[in-house]
Amino acid sequence: MMDLLLTILLYAFLGGAIKYIDQAYDERSYSLRSAGTLAVMAGVTMGYLMARDSPFSTAFFAAMLISLVLARKIDNRAFALGTALAVASLLAFYPSSTVIWHLIPLVVFLLAGFVDEVADGLVDKYRLDGFLQMFLNYRPFSDFALFGMLLVGMFPWAYLLPYFAFTLSYMFVERCSEREYSLNDGVSWIKHRVLRRAN
């Protein structure tokens, strides 16, 4: 395992960066140029973690990338660039790293991640609300998968810290973007009212 503090920081960065890119393209909450810059940084960071923090990060992020492809969630240039750079940087760091591929964690994370992506898509598709919306938007199945693997001793319990740093950072950026969207929407409404009165 890498230095724990560094791992936590990198996971937190990736969680926030991924959501930032998602919101920049889907909700136009942020600049597309800054999203592209973040995609480069996130891709290299992810590949670095997959190579240097093996086997946990190798399984976790490889499963994430595969599940995103299967769920057709790589739907913009920034995500495509970040994915390509993650693979490229993994290959670049591979010769100088001890990369371990464990099939069971990879498959467990893959299945959980795929279910999370599909479930999250159902919220928008069927306009779910209330508890079910919160439950599915939280993407809980990866949490269940991780706790199961920790309980049987596949990974140290310390991995809860970087994992939830990723999750909380992802949720924090989502909340900030919602506030930003509400603020922009409010400003647009005020401008519309002022212009209408002026006319």
Look up residue 160 and give its two tokens.
């809860």
Q: What is the mean pLDDT of residues 154-159?
A: 96
User: Does any domain span residue 91?
Assistant: yes
pLDDT at 177: 78
pLDDT at 181: 53
How much is the pTM? 0.85
User: Does any domain span residue 181?
Assistant: yes
Is-contact 175 72, C-beta < 8 A? no
Q: What is the mean pLDDT of residues 8-29?
A: 92
Map 82-116 to HEC letters.
Answer: HHHHHHHHHHHHHHHCCCCCCHHHHHHHHHHHHHH
User: Does any domain span residue 64?
Assistant: yes
Number of structural domains (the chain) is 1
pLDDT at 175: 86
User: Does any domain span residue 187?
Assistant: yes
pLDDT at 188 over 70: no
**Closest among 114, 109, 136, 141 to 125, alpha carbons compared:** 136
CA angle 36, 41, 47 (to 5 degrees): 125
Q: What is the mean pLDDT of residues 46-70?
A: 93
pLDDT at 49 over 90: yes
Residues 125-154: tens digit of each pLDDT: 888 888 988 888 888 999 999 999 999 999
pLDDT at 104: 96
User: Does any domain span residue 70?
Assistant: yes
Residues 159-180: tens digit of each pLDDT: 999 999 999 999 999 888 776 5
The domain of 31 spans 4-107+156-198
User: Does any domain span residue 175?
Assistant: yes
User: Does any domain span residue 116?
Assistant: no
Residues 73-128: tens digit of each pLDDT: 788 999 999 999 999 999 999 999 999 999 999 999 999 988 887 888 888 888 88
pLDDT at 191: 47
Mean of per-residue pLDDT scores for the chain = 87
Look up residue 193 and give its two tokens.
């009212």
User: Does any domain span residue 44?
Assistant: yes
**Closest among 42, 122, 117, 124 to 87, alpha carbons compared:** 42
